[in-house]
Amino acid sequence: MDAPKLRFPEFSGSWKPAKAGEAFKNNRTRGREGLPIYSVTMDRGMVRRDSIGREIEADAADGANLRAQPGDLAYNMMRMWQGAVGRAPEECMVSPAYVVLSPKPGVASDFFEHWFRSKRMLYLFRAYSQGLTSDRLRLYFDDFAQIPLRIPAPDEQEKIAAFLSALDDRIAQLRARYEWLTKYKKGVVRKLFAQDVRFKDAAGCEFPDWQESSFGEVAELRNWKYDPDTSAEALRCVELEHVSQETGRLLGYVDSKLQRSVKNRFAAGDVLFGKLRPYLRKYLKAPFDGACSTEIWVLNGKKVTNDFLFYLVQSESFMTTAQVSSGSKMPRADWGVVSSGEVAYPCPEEQAKIAGFLFALDAQIACAESQLESAKRYKQGILRNMFIQ
């Protein structure tokens, strides 16, 4: 293939065949004192090392670091096949474990920064890396230089790079919104269950004070056993891996007939909580009748609604109790500890207000995440079609 499938209309003709070493030279210039130190990440490109909490081990004075000029690309030799490459935004230093690529005349490094994250290029980076296992793979410059490329004219490189950079900006905006909403929800849940923030009734009056009871009085632990070997009824079965961490969303399920061990039954609307490694925060409001792993608690509200209970198990007070050591080798929540722990809960009307507000917030978070994932998939499609594979 001499040209990509997707192209801006003002460009035509074939892309020039070349090798990576014809587009970049290996820059081994040593660092100098006073320059900021950058790290290469797999999701954000090059970022200042002090912004990601890494201790700066190398000192510019020892001359070990490499210097990168604005527009140079740097990649981690051990992680290039996973997309650990980025473009220097300023004159800076990087680890000597990196390779610094300086673009040759007619080469737009931002164009290649995008291309080097495409699925085809990641495949080639792995194929040209040396090492017997994935944790030992290294892409040295001499091997990188042999990778075949097809290079468009400089103005087409710049046009493609500008388009993809704009798309990256949109993805960054969507990611920031998703992260902000997620952080906001955590803060709201903390304040609501600490009673720092209270709702009022329709007349604008205060709701009654919250009551306190043990968790075992507020909710019951259901033990409806289901044995797929003896039951004629096949149920949708939820395992821990089917519950999204910290989001309360269902990722999938399996036919219970494929699972041979005894399970717990649950009804639509029950609250499921992963007792194995509770710090993972796996919780779900069951969307259907089914069965689940015995490592999942099936909870039903007694003094609270299940809608409120779903958010109660997300509160810090509940999580603190759930993470008390049970003495087992693998961390598990202990029902004896959790059921005796004190929890506070409001009247039914305020429960409904809290659950309704948080449900709406969850819907916004899910929408933001969906938009982010759609934008990322769109970019991957563009990368597949805007570059020669």
Q: Which fold has domain 211-345?
A: Adenine-n6-DNA-methyltransferase TaqI; Chain A, domain 2 (3.90.220)
Q: What is the DSSP letter of 32?
A: -
User: What is the helix (H) or strand (E) element at residue 24, kind and residue range?
Assistant: strand 24-26
Q: In the chain, which segments carry CATH 3.90.220.20?
A: 16-152, 211-345
Report the pLDDT value the prediction gives residue 42, as an integer from 0 to 100: 86
Q: In the chain, which segments carry CATH 1.10.287.1120?
A: 154-205+346-389
Q: Report the amino acid identity of residue 252.
A: G
Q: Which fold has domain 16-152?
A: Adenine-n6-DNA-methyltransferase TaqI; Chain A, domain 2 (3.90.220)
Residue 148 contacts residue 17 (beta carbons within 8 Å): yes
Which residues are CB-neighbours of 364 under 8 A, at least 6 positions away? 181
Residue 362 pLDDT > 60, yes or no? yes
Where residue 61 falls among pLDDT bands split at 50, 70, 90?
very low
Query: What mean pLDDT is reported for the chain?
Result: 91
**Span 311-343, pLDDT tens digits:** 999 999 999 999 998 777 889 999 999 999 999
Residue 2 contacts residue 378 (beta carbons within 8 Å): no
Where residue 56 falls among pLDDT bands split at 50, 70, 90?
very low
**Span 73-128, pLDDT tens digits:** 999 999 999 999 999 999 999 999 999 999 999 999 999 999 999 889 999 999 99
Kindly tell me the burial class for residue 38, based on how many C-beta atoms sit within 10 Å of its own C-beta (0-12, 13-18, 19 or more): buried
| pTM across the whole model | 0.82
Q: Report the amino acid identity of residue 135.
A: D
DSSP 207-251: PPPPEEEEHHHHEEEE-EEE-TTT-S---EEE-GGGB-TTT--B-
Using CA atoms, how far apart are residues 307 and 317, in angstroms rounded to an integer?
A: 18
Report, as an integer, the average pLDDT of 159-163.
95
Architecture of domain 154-205+346-389: Orthogonal Bundle (1.10)
Paired sense of beta strands 290-292 and 236-238, if any:
parallel
In a 13 Å sphere around the CA of 87, the CA atoms on its Cβ side amount to 17
Report, as an integer, the average pLDDT of 284-308.
96
Residue 17 contacts residue 60 (beta carbons within 8 Å): no
Residue 58 pLDDT > 70, yes or no? no
Q: Report the amino acid identity of residue 18.
A: A
**Span 5-24, pLDDT tens digits:** 899 999 998 999 999 999 99
